[in-house]
């Protein structure tokens, strides 16, 4: 496949599927995902609490779920033998995934934030590549249906549900 064979909507679907599959890999329950009027979304049980309300054990999960979108985009480009420029990530921008990640890392890890983000990125890379077939199936289902319930997401990820 060539990256130009994918529509913007399909690439968005890969991005969201990346978030969802990383959440699933950490046994975080997913309620729904879909295309909204402005942004696509994944709603999961971790939500996005204030930093002071966040349980420390959930911090790496939050970080990896945030990174899952960009890393799935990057993996798709690389599978198409295409250079992925992070500047084009849909996780960028004010209040985007990467800004949230930066704030999270600085809040919890201060001076070591850069090292910690690198570590989180490596972990997320492994999860996305190991579960690539699930990312693809979920992206196809999201593109096809527009919204998916938690049950539908579970069925697609398990490989037992309709696309
Ligand atoms: Zn995202």
The tens digit of pLDDT for each residue in 86-144 reads 887 877 777 799 999 999 999 998 878 999 999 999 999 999 999 999 999 999 999 99
User: Is a pLDDT exceeding 90 seen at residue 74?
Assistant: yes
- Category of 58 on φ-ψ map: left (φ > 0), alpha (ψ -120 to 50) or beta: alpha
- Sequence spans of domains, the chain: 3-158
State the distance from the centre of ligand 1 to the C-alpha of 1, rounded, in angstroms. Answer: 23
Which has more pLDDT, 75 or 48? 75
State the distance from the centre of ligand 1 to the C-alpha of 15, rounded, in angstroms. Answer: 6
Domain 3-158 superfamily per CATH: Peptidase M41 (1.20.58.760)
Q: What is the pLDDT of residue 162?
A: 57
State the distance from the centre of ligand 1 to the C-alpha of 66, rounded, in angstroms. Answer: 6
State the distance from the centre of ligand 1 to the C-alpha of 14, rounded, in angstroms. Answer: 10
State the distance from the centre of ligand 1 to the C-alpha of 111, rounded, in angstroms. Answer: 25
State the distance from the centre of ligand 1 to the C-alpha of 2, rounded, in angstroms. Answer: 22
pLDDT in tens, 25-55: 999 999 999 998 888 999 999 998 899 999 9
State the distance from the centre of ligand 1 to the C-alpha of 70, rounded, in angstroms. Answer: 7
State the distance from the centre of ligand 1 to the C-alpha of 137, rounded, in angstroms. Answer: 18
Q: How confident is the model at residue 8 (pLDDT cuts 50, 70, 90)?
A: very high
Interhelix angle 132-145/59-79, nearest 10 degrees = 80
Q: How confident is the model at residue 161 (pLDDT cuts 50, 70, 90)?
A: low
Q: What is the CA radius of gyration of the chain?
A: 15
Cα 102 to its chain centre, rounded Å, is 16
Q: What is the pLDDT of residue 86?
A: 80
């Amino acid at each position: 496949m060539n990256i130009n064979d994918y529509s913007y909507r399909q690439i968005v679907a890969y991005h969201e599927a990346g978030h969802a599959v990383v959440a699933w890999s950490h046994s975080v329950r997913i309620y729904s995902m879909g295309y909204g009027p402005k942004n696509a979304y994944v709603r999961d049980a971790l939500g996005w609490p204030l930093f002071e309300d966040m349980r420390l054990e959930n911090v790496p999960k939050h970080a990896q779920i945030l990174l899952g979108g960009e890393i799935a985009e990057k993996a798709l480009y690389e599978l198409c033998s295409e250079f992925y420029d992070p500047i084009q990530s849909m996780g960028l921008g004010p209040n985007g995934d990467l800004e949230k990640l930066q704030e999270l890392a600085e809040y919890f890890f201060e001076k070591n934030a850069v090292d910690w983000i690198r570590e989180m990125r490596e972990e997320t890379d492994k999860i996305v590549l190991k579960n690539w077939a699930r990312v693809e199936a979920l992206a196809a289902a999201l593109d096809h249906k527009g919204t998916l319930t938690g049950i539908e997401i579970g069925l697609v990820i398990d490989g037992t549900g309709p696309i």
